[in-house]
Structure formats: structure tokens, C-alpha cells
Amino acid sequence: MAFPTGVKYVIIGAGIHGLSTAYHLALRLRETGRGSGEDILVVDKTSIAAGASGIACGVVRNNYFQPAMRELMAHSVSVWESDPEAYSYHPVGYMQISPESMRKDVTTIYEQQKAIGYESEFIEGEAESMAYMKTLFDDWQAKGITSVLHEKRGGYANNTASMYGLATKAEGEGVRILTGARVTGFEFGNNSQAVTAVVTDKGTISCDYVVVGTGPWVNEMWTMLDLPKTVSIKGADGDVHKDVPMWKFWCLEEGTLGVDPEMHKTNDGSFPPVIHVDSDAPLFSDEDGSLVTDKMWGIYYKPDFNFGGIQGGAAPYVVNQTPDNVAVDPYGADSPDFIVGDDFINMWCSALAHCQKRFEGQIRYYKNHDPSGGLGCFTPDSFPVFDVFRENVYVIADSNHGYKMLGVGKLAAQEIAGEKSALMEPFRISRYEEGRLHPVSNSPFPWS
């Protein structure tokens, strides 16, 4: 298409948030008679699903200790369920399998899932948990598990296929998607903070409104918008912590065991729920029996024909803060290699074997050269920020909760159209200064 020099809405990023916002905003404009998808342009420096959304594990779950996150995820699961074929969505369910140190937290999750009508089953006790798991997998052998939360909804989606399905829906509403155009800056009004144009390496696009949905590249857009590099956070004790960096980076670890996905079925021959195990049991190497860790660890996994094996990951680790004057490209030349290292491979494959006998001795089939992981850009508390900045810029900073949050674009579209969303209110940036923080669980994952 010809380069567009002006449009009402510019959405930056052709991943889960940009495409979902574009599609749902187009629907709302048409339904309210205030415009159409032709008023919307999605801009991406590379292509559809070229970044985090294109290599995401694809897990869709409700399992969160934080009530606000749980309600937001229940909404997103409903959006995934609205068109499973287009979204390449597999509603197999999700299981949180935990040790005694997490039982109280998981009990809270279960009780609040019941309160919002989200179907799940909760099993307590070590013997009871083992018996329940063996009804699904006769080779289950993880010790020290004292609770199992089995979400009957949720599951996973095929990453790239779902993004192209979403792009097709958006284009069907008239949305234009411009790829290969990198955003290099913004133009601002003379007498206001508002953005009047988005500058790209292909030309300048005048606009009335901007949506930033760039996932782990949010720091780059944030810097171009000249937004605060630090925040003040009021803790639960009333103390104020000043000059807390707005962004921090974690290295995400995911991979694929290159075995036949059919090997990971339940006792009745069905494909299983997504399995998430947190454990404080010592983990020993499946290669040589050496101790991998005696600290809390966690993994998740699922059979996936899209990845060609058993695909999943483990808890991420912190990387050094990026200097303020360096633009982070999480999947580019200035980032760590996103082929995970031997430590992750040994840990994850050994953890699979710790949980199920069928995975013993399978580490040799790990697919070393498949891209996985990458850098995640996290907020100060590791939970999302959804808010308006500079008068007309809606920022979706997902703090790496991204892919599963298909429904965020629908809620963002609602807010852009002028109707505030109660589900989005707990994620305003003002929560830091006001001390309205989300509770923290005992999980080894920073986003749980």
C-alpha cells in the first residue's frame, strides 16, 4: 500500500496487543458509528508476530494470586474462547501443582476463582495430590506436592498462527497494517503534550491518537515519548521508595524437547492440560545425578505440534539494567542470544524427568537451535501498566504477561473510545505513588 501520511489512530506493534486493540477498536468504531477500521493504522518495524508474540509459549491461564490479574485473565480467556479456530486456541485446561509453602496462596486463588465463576478443581494433601495426578499420568512421580489446582478452562494457542488469525480479523474490518517501518520518534503540539505525528524511517504519519503495544520494546517508545525514567513507590508500610527504575529486564527461558508430542498424553489417550509445577524438592540432574538446585524452582510444559515436541519453560533470571541511553532490542543484535544455555537445558529436562518417568533420559532430544525466550521488559512490580500519557498516547506495558492477555486489546479499545474499564483501573501508573500495589505470592515466577 502507499505510505499513509495521516490517519486518526496509529497503533505501534503488530503483536498480540497492537493487533487485538486494532481489531476491537475497529469493531467499536463501526458499532458506535464513530468511524471504521480504515481510521486505524498498525505500524511494525518488521512484520506480524516478528517479536515476542511470534515465539511465545502460548499458555493461556487464569492462575494468578492477585485478584485484579485473575479477573483480567478470566476476561482474556473468554476472548480466546470466542473464536478458537481463528485464534488457533486449544482449550485443554491448566494445572498449578505446588508444594506446602504455596498451598495457602493457591487456596486463595481457588476460592476467588469460585467467586468469579471460573471453573476449577482443587486437591489438597500430598497423598491426595499424588493420587489425582496418577489418574491423569500413571508415571507421575514428583514428590512433595501438597496441592493441585486444575483449571478446566484455559490452555494454549499456536503463537504465529493466532497472530495471523487476529491480523486477518482486523484487516477484515478495514484496518491497515504497515510493516517494515521503524518508529524513530514523535512530533508534539506547540501548546500541549499531545503527540501530533509518529515519525518512522519511511516517513511521518500525522495522527490524533497513538497506541503503544510493543511488548518488550516499550522502554524504547517510553524514551522517545520523554516519559519518567523512575517512579516513587509507596510500600505497604507507608515508606516511600524514590527513584525506582521504571523498567527492569529479565532473561526468559523457554525451549522444546524434540520428541513426538504424542508421547505426552493422559492415561485415556487425550492431550493433557498445560502443566505448571513449582517445587521446593531438591532437583538432581537427569544426566549425571548431580544437584541442580536445592532452592525453589518452577517449570511449565505442554505437547505442541507447532513447536514439534514438548514445549515449555522455567522461571526467568534478572539481567543487568540497561543504561538509560541505550535502546533495547530484545531480539536484536544488542541483546543476549535468545538460544538458551546448557544450565537451562539441564534444569528443565531434569525437572521434566523429576515429574514424569517418561521424560527420563530424553535430554538428548532437546532442540538446541530453536529460538526461545529473549528479554522481558518488566515494570517495577512486575505487573502491567495500562494508562494514557501525553494526553493522547495509550500505553500497553504488559510486563511480559503479554500473549495470554488477548482481552487487553478489547478493553483498551473500550477506553480509547471513551468508556473506562473497571478491569484496567488497578493497573494505572498512579498505583505506585498511591501505594495500591498488587499482593506478592510465594511462587518463583515474578508474574505469579
**Contact (Cβ atoms closer than 8 angstroms) between residue 416 and residue 25:** yes
**Contact (Cβ atoms closer than 8 angstroms) between residue 354 and residue 144:** no
Q: Name the region of 151 (left: φ>0; alpha: ψ -120 to 50; beta: rest).
A: beta
pLDDT for the residue numbered 339: 46
CA atoms within 13 A on the CB side of 194: 11
pLDDT for the residue numbered 320: 56
**Could you tell me the three cell numbers for 396?**
500497553
In the chain, the domains with their CATH numbers are 1-90+155-241+382-448 (3.50.50.60)
**Contact (Cβ atoms closer than 8 angstroms) between residue 91 and residue 58:** no
DSSP string, 155-207: EEE-HHHHHHHHHHHHHHTT-EEEES--EEEEEE-TTSS-EEEEEETTEEEE-
Q: What is the DSSP letter of 261?
A: G
Residues in the chain with pLDDT values less than 70 = 318-341, 369-374, 445-448
CA dihedral of 72, 73, 74, 79, whole degrees rounded to 10: 100
Rounded Cα distance, 187 and 18, in Å? 21
pLDDT for the residue numbered 197: 97
Q: At what angle do helices 16-32 and 406-416 cross, to 10 degrees?
A: 40
Buried b (16+ CB within 10 A) or exposed e, 97-134: bbbeebbebbebbbebbeeeebebebbeeeeebbebbe
pTM of the shown model: 0.91
Rounded Cα distance, 408 and 427, in Å? 11
pLDDT for the residue numbered 371: 53
Question: Position 266: which residue type?
Answer: T
Q: Are strands 155-157 and 297-304 parallel, antiparallel or unpaired?
A: unpaired
pLDDT for the residue numbered 332: 47
Question: Beta partners for 186?
Answer: 198
Question: Position 359: which residue type?
Answer: F
Q: At what angle do helices 67-82 and 103-115 cross, to 10 degrees?
A: 60
DSSP string, 66-90: SHHHHHHHHHHHHHHHH-TTTTTEE
Q: What is the DSSP letter of 366?
A: B
pLDDT for the residue numbered 57: 80
**Residue 228 C-alpha from the chain's centroid:** 24
